[in-house]
Amino acid sequence: MTQVLVTGGTGFVGSWCVLALLDAGHTVRTTVRDLRREPELRSWLQAAAPFDDDRLTVVRADLEHPDGWDDAVAGCDFVLHVASPTLRHTPANDDELVVPARKGVLRVLRAARDAGVRRTVLTSAFGAVGIGHPKRTAAFTEEDWTNVDADIPPYQRSKTLAERAAWQFVADEGAGMELAAIHPVGVLGPLLGPDDPPSLRLVRRMLEGRVPACPPFAMGFVDVRDVADLHVRAMTDPAAAGERFLAIAGHSLRVLDIARILHERLGERAAKAPTRELPVWLARALGTVNPELRLLRHQLGQDLDATSAKAQQLLGWRARPIEDTIAQTAESLLAHGIGAKTGP
């Protein structure tokens, strides 16, 4: 029976990866930073799709500390490295995110190699592919890399440098261990538990009426369940070794398109969602005083489209319609009492 380690099991993508693996019949070990979260994680997963409780083990390990990683990977055939360091505040400098992200990836890869893991699947991001480039019309592919020499946000810089470090480590010190990388665009979809993932905050804020007008840009989105499915395919398919895979449902959407879909699918429950888009010049001007718009400065006026043709052709992966995902995201947020609030 195949044993798989998933790092970051309580995270949005991580928890869905655990569920997908259990559903496929694998035995799963997952890491959390706080073992007090084990009961709630098990309850989320069992409520979504009941499974033999003996096939899931929860262990403590923190990317920023060396303890626990050798035990976490011991006996595992595969690793899905989904976890990534996060901050509860705006970093004073990029190294607050870059250094932990890079060290964390190398810590997991080193432990995996030493344990004889066959393949590690790294959860990277579109942020390691399509940020910091001049305006373009062609869709981004896996051949593209984010320009870390540009003035880009710390998160995108950290994902890019961590992934580059991972590929370099496997090439230089991997001892035959294989690596594949998954690059989701904006990840939406239903919640397994009552957490509030950062990737769902745009939809939440729209439902709460906290987005008076949409920022003027387009980007891709994908369902978290399809992201988990792509991780499992990249783990098991021989064709995935040494490859990067973008995960996007169809083509890019303008932020205003998301608001429109919410209005169409949820009716009055999405009455507070915006109905207009900011002009580019105004969004840039507001970015001088609005921290959220400031972080989007490289995206304003751009269409950050991407293609999943590679994942479709090599791995047979398919994404569900993003319109359904957007509606189900909103329904799930409201069902968990998230998105119905008003005010800051």
At 161-208, the pLDDT tens digits run 999 999 999 999 999 999 999 999 999 999 998 888 999 999 999 999
Q: What distance in Å separates the CA atoms of residue 14 and residue 283, rounded to the nearest whole number?
A: 34
The two structure tokens encoding residue 10:
């309580």
Q: What distance in Å separates the CA atoms of residue 108 and residue 263, rounded to the nearest whole number?
A: 43
Is the Cβ–Cβ distance between 120 and 136 less than 8 Å?
Answer: no
Whether the CA torsion 1, 312, 17, 129 is positive or negative: it is positive
Q: How many helices (H) and strands (E) does the chain have?
A: 12, 12
Mean pLDDT of 213-221: 97
Phi-psi region of 43 (alpha: psi -120 to 50; beta: other; left: phi over 0): alpha
Is the Cβ–Cβ distance between 27 and 3 less than 8 Å?
Answer: yes
At 277-306, the pLDDT tens digits run 999 999 999 999 988 888 888 889 999 999
* Active site residue ranges: 159
For residue 96, what pLDDT is reported?
Answer: 82
Can you tell me which residue has the tokens 């580059």? 164
pTM of this structure? 0.96
At 72-97, the pLDDT tens digits run 999 999 999 999 876 555 655 678 88
All domains of the chain in start order, with CATH: 3-191+221-249 (3.40.50.720)
For 133, phi then psi, to 5°, come to: -105, 155
For residue 343, what pLDDT is reported?
Answer: 43
Distance, CA of 18 to chain centre: 14
Can you tell me which residue has the tokens 């932020």? 255
Can you tell me which residue has the tokens 């989904």? 82
Q: What distance in Å separates the CA atoms of residue 280 and residue 272, rounded to the nearest whole number?
A: 22
Mean pLDDT of 306-318: 98
Is the Cβ–Cβ distance between 5 and 78 less than 8 Å?
Answer: yes
Q: What distance in Å separates the CA atoms of residue 85 and residue 97, rounded to the nearest whole number?
A: 7
For residue 293, what pLDDT is reported?
Answer: 86
% of the chain at pLDDT higher than 90:
85
Is the Cβ–Cβ distance between 120 and 175 less than 8 Å?
Answer: no
| Cβ neighbours for 158, distance < 8 A, ≥ 6 positions apart | 84, 85, 94, 97, 98, 100, 101, 102
For residue 89, what pLDDT is reported?
Answer: 54
Q: What is the dihedral of CA 81, 86, 92, 94, to 10 degrees?
A: 20
For residue 266, what pLDDT is reported?
Answer: 97
Point out which residues pair with 57 in neighbouring strands: 29
For residue 344, what pLDDT is reported?
Answer: 42
For residue 115, what pLDDT is reported?
Answer: 98
Residue 341 pLDDT > 70, yes or no? no
Point out which residues pair with 4 in neighbouring strands: 28, 78
| Cβ neighbours for 324, distance < 8 A, ≥ 6 positions apart | none
Percent helix, strand, coil in the chain, to 5, is: 45, 15, 40
H/E run at residue 230: helix 224-236
At 1-40, the pLDDT tens digits run 799 999 999 999 999 999 999 999 999 999 999 999 999 9
At 88-140, the pLDDT tens digits run 556 556 788 889 899 999 999 999 999 999 999 999 999 999 999 998 889 99
Is the Cβ–Cβ distance between 32 and 38 less than 8 Å?
Answer: yes
